[in-house]
Structure 1
Amino acid sequence: MPDADRPQELPARLLTDPEMINACRVRDFGRVFRLVKTRAGIYPSMIARRCELTPSRVGEVIAGRRQLLHMDVVERIADGLRIPGHMLGLARRTWETPQALVVTEREAPQVAGPEQQPPASLPGPDVDSILALTTRTNLSAATLAAFRSSIEDYWRRDDQHGGEALRPAVVGQLRYVVGLLKESRPPAIQNGLYGIAAELARLTGWTYFDARQYNQARAYFTEALQLAKAIDDRQFMANVLACMSLQATYQDKPADSLALVTAAQDQARSASDTTPRVLSMLSMREAFAHATLGSKTSTHRAITEAHRQFEQIQASDPDPSWVAYFDEPKLIVDTGIAHGRLGEAATAEPLIADALRREAHTNQRGRAFHAFWLARTQLDQGKLDQACHTATQALEPASAVASERVSGHLREFYDQLAPHRQEPVALAFESRLRELLPTVSGSLHP
């Protein structure tokens, strides 16, 4: 964004105004935007451009019809309007430090000690690289099956523990498979390698998305698209575009989300082997995009289509392995979340609760994620005791998985508790939170 479009800072008199300080402290962005408009002359269209929001979203926030809770949106507002990080409960922003005071750390010289030497029983890396040049890897259908089995295992462990620790292994395997693509092979083997590389790139992108590192996620998703396009795997391209659409909803970019999922549906419909389960999943992602835009009619229509497609599923359908997760409990919980995004809490609550009862207990991240959604819908209906009980139950699976996305939903629920923070049930929830997730609780907005 050009510097001319963005002031270096808000007027000091506004930043020191008690009303502005209080509005920032509780993250009441309706008040913040109104104050910025009246005291600094920055109108809603300019706020939208600087904070990477849609003008309609800014208007809804100012009118009190919508809240902004996602952490990445809060960070964009801080950076776009030049609100110091501490006012919004954030870390010091990079632009708050004058360039003249930025110190570049120098790397200490590396002195190899005895403990840094490789074991004598292993050849050095230079020997490994020489041997690799003289060895042609013979691949067969069994080799491809082994690759696919390892990918399925990566996904299982990602569900249980998060992808942070897995990422180095996944990236290493991705680069290894991409290297194998440089050799000439029979078409069936070569196409299989392209598909495996595409899935490894998507998995890497997913681990970055789950960590809320969106630029890196987008780069790997794009690599996955290119690999799938090389073998004209349109169903898989649709899958990657659906992942990118979901990421856009987290970045509060609903127009991008809708464009991406529409492209995904176009790819899927142009493929001759697309199954009803894939189309159902894509319709549900479309519902998420419409719900984030606040369009009830379009959201309900997409939900209806998702259920219609799901009813067409046959046991004999040649579903790709990557869509197997989209079973009936997943359809139901996503339906509830779509209604929740629209503010239809009473409709959403029983759906999410039913799906949670039927979900696999091995998917720690999914259970934590969906439980926080259930707690939010309960709180939206004024069911404080139930909401705190549900959220407390979600803390244990949340503590078992390294997922910034789950932590973000926890923070959003905690922020929603602000008016009830001194109630006994809220205090009990906070106590348990600080016990199980001390690193997350230390970053919560007071």
Structure 2
Amino acid sequence: MPDADRPQELPARLLTDPEMINACRVRDFATIFRLMKTRAGIYPSMIARRCELTPSRVGEVIAGRRQLLQDVIERIADGLRIPGHMLGLARRPWETPQALVTTEREAPQQPDPEQQTPESLPSPDVDSILALATRTSLSTATLEAFHASIEDYWKRDNQHGGEALRPAIVGQLRYVVGLLKESRAPAIQNGLYGVAAELARLTGWTHFDARQYNQARTYFTEALQLAKEIDDRQFMANVLACMSLQATYQDKPADSLALVTAAQDQARSSLGTTPRVLSMLSMREAFAHATLGARDSTHRAIGEAHRHFGQVRASDADPSWVAYFDEPKLLVDTGIAHGRLGEAATAEPLIADALRREDRSNQRGRAFHSFWLARTQLDQGKLDQACHTATEALESASTVSSERVTGHLREFYDQLAPSRQEPVALAFEARLRALLPPVSGSPHP
């Protein structure tokens, strides 16, 4: 349909409202329609038009006198832009970024005779007039509020994982993308593109952390497209680095190296790229080389990462998204790169030192890094230490929803196979069964 006729995205504040989330979960459409009116300015007549329903049917739903069939629920999700997962539906076609859609949507089903009463519905002009009442002006303060919410999302993601946050993040992403359709001052418009790019990357990250790689790639690609609109090459480098890391998990080391090389090219072509960003990218390059088993190239990239980090100054205008890459993170990533090469004796003290120094509120990071410490200890034959460290990793992992981390801990359990009957290995297995749910179809935790 023409852009002017596309349904407007719902405000993030509505999609993240607990009352709305609960109403969608139980398919309480009377409450959903009431919230649409009171909190989004979408009146019953507009609901009828968007969802191909008659006003009388909408009125019956609001009064609690009408149950809805599955096809009608799908029309409501599409017409009102309610993400499919909120209503227990499959991902809706419009939730995929428009630039990535490769097939035409199916033609809508013909409405039944009861629905063929367009003369009873208001015109698009009336819808537009009513919608104007809900619009708010945007300012730099609005952009600051968006960035503050993104920082809060990242903090909560580190502490608890991103699975529960994803509906709120996607809702806010679609809301901001909707704002981009309107004409605004260049500074505000560019700021909105930046916010949308950050939200898309964060959404991609939550899918990556859940090992949902296809969805992650979709959102990472959307983030690249949004950043390209404002020529933010540092952020494009950041997204490409995320995609490079994902490729290592998918056992595609050549792809990983190609992506991080492209990331470095983007960063070097930007005059404002800081040493911290270059250090992070060099470390991602080291991961790619280590996955390929290229020892000399890995050591060279590690050296570059430390050289760039030595040039970091407090006065640098670092992007907020790279602030996590501090000295403990540099050390632990250095240890992981050595660990990937099988250089366990070099890796162990680096990772142990970083764990002592890193932020204890980052539960996922601590679980992930403890796994790597346990792995390096096991590679050196230190079974007791390795099982003790892995148990500590379990304690952190049990508080976070992260399939990436729990997957690593199950891998550690597999590596215990030769020592499975040792008391420390049996104790770890018991703790693993108690704290982490079993994987469907797996004979072990």
Question: Aligned partners of 2:36, 2:427: CA distance in 1, in Å?
Answer: 57
Q: Give the aligned partner of residue 275 of structure 2.
A: 276
Q: Secondary structure at the match of 1:316?
A: coil
Secondary structure of 2:438's aligned partner: helix
| 2:205 is the alignment partner of 1:206 | yes
* In structure 2, C-alpha distance between the alignment counterparts of 1:270 and 1:296, rounded to whole Å: 28
Which residue identity is paired with 2:30? Q
SS of 1:183's equivalent in the other structure is coil
Aligned amino acid, residue 118 of structure 1: T
Cα distance, 1:368–1:442 mapped onto 2, change above 3 Å = farther
Q: Residue 328 and residue 441 in structure 1: after superposition, are their counterparts in 2 closer, same or farther (change >3 A)?
A: farther
Aligned-pair distance for 1:412?
1.0
d(CA) in 2 for partners of 1:444 and 1:175?
41
Alignment check: 8 A CA contact 1:411 1:444 kept: no
Provide Cα deviations, 1:371-400, integer angstroms capped at 9, x if missing partner.
Answer: 011101100000000000000111111000
Q: 2:376 aligns to what?
A: 377
**Distance verdict in 2 for CA 1:315–1:133, change over 3 Å:** same
Deviation at 1:443, TM superposition (A): 3.6
Secondary structure of 2:220's counterpart equals helix
Moved more, 410-419 or 428-437: 428-437
- Residues 114 and 157 (structure 1), Cα distance of their counterparts in 2 relative to 1, 3 Å cut: closer
Q: Aligned residue for 1:286?
A: 285
Change (3 A) 1:119 1:228: closer
Cα distance in structure 1, aligned partners of 2:131 and 2:398: 42
Instruction: State the one-letter code of the partner of 1:188.
Output: A
Structure 2 CA distance, aligned partners of 1:135 and 1:182? Answer: 16
Distance in 1 (CA, whole Å) between partners of 2:321 and 2:187 is: 20
- Which stretches of structure 1, 4 residues or more, deviate above 2 A after TM superposition? 113-117, 119-126, 128-137, 438-446
What is the rounded CA distance, in whole Å, between the counterparts of 1:259 and 1:133 in structure 2? 47
Q: Unaligned regions of 5+ residues in structure 2, if any?
A: 1-25, 47-126
Q: 2:111 matched to which residue of 1?
A: none
Q: Is residue 414 of structure 1 aligned with residue 330 of structure 2?
A: no
Match of 1:95 in 2: none
Instruction: Give the secondary-structure state (helix, strand or coil) at the position aligned to 1:184.
Output: coil
Shift of 1:294: 0.1
Give the distance between the partners of 2:443 and 2:400, measured in 1 at CA.
18
Q: What is the aligned length?
A: 334
CA distance in 1, matches of 2:266, 2:233: 5
Asked if structure 2 preserves the Cα contact closer than 8 Å seen for 1:433 and 1:441, the reply is no
| Structure 1 stretches lacking a partner, 5+ long | 1-112
For residue 117 of structure 1, what is the aligned residue in structure 2?
30
What amino acid is aligned across from residue 249 of structure 1 in structure 2?
A: T
Deviates more, 1:337-346 or 1:121-130: 121-130
Taking the aligned partners of 1:231 and 1:240, their CA distance within structure 2 comes to: 15
1:28-427 aligned at under 5 Å gives the runs 117-118=30-31, 122=35, 124=37, 126-127=42-43, 130=127, 131-427=130-426
**How far apart, CA to CA, are the structure 1 residues paired with 2:379 and 2:31?**
58
| 1:185–1:398 distance in 2 versus 1, CA, 3 Å | same
Q: Distance in 1 between matches of 2:404 and 2:310?
A: 31
- Going from structure 1 to structure 2, the CA distance change for 1:414 and 1:307 (only over 3 Å counts) comes to same
C-alpha separation in 2, matches of 1:114 and 1:432:
38
Moved more, 272-281 or 352-361: 352-361
CA RMSD of aligned residues (A): 1.9
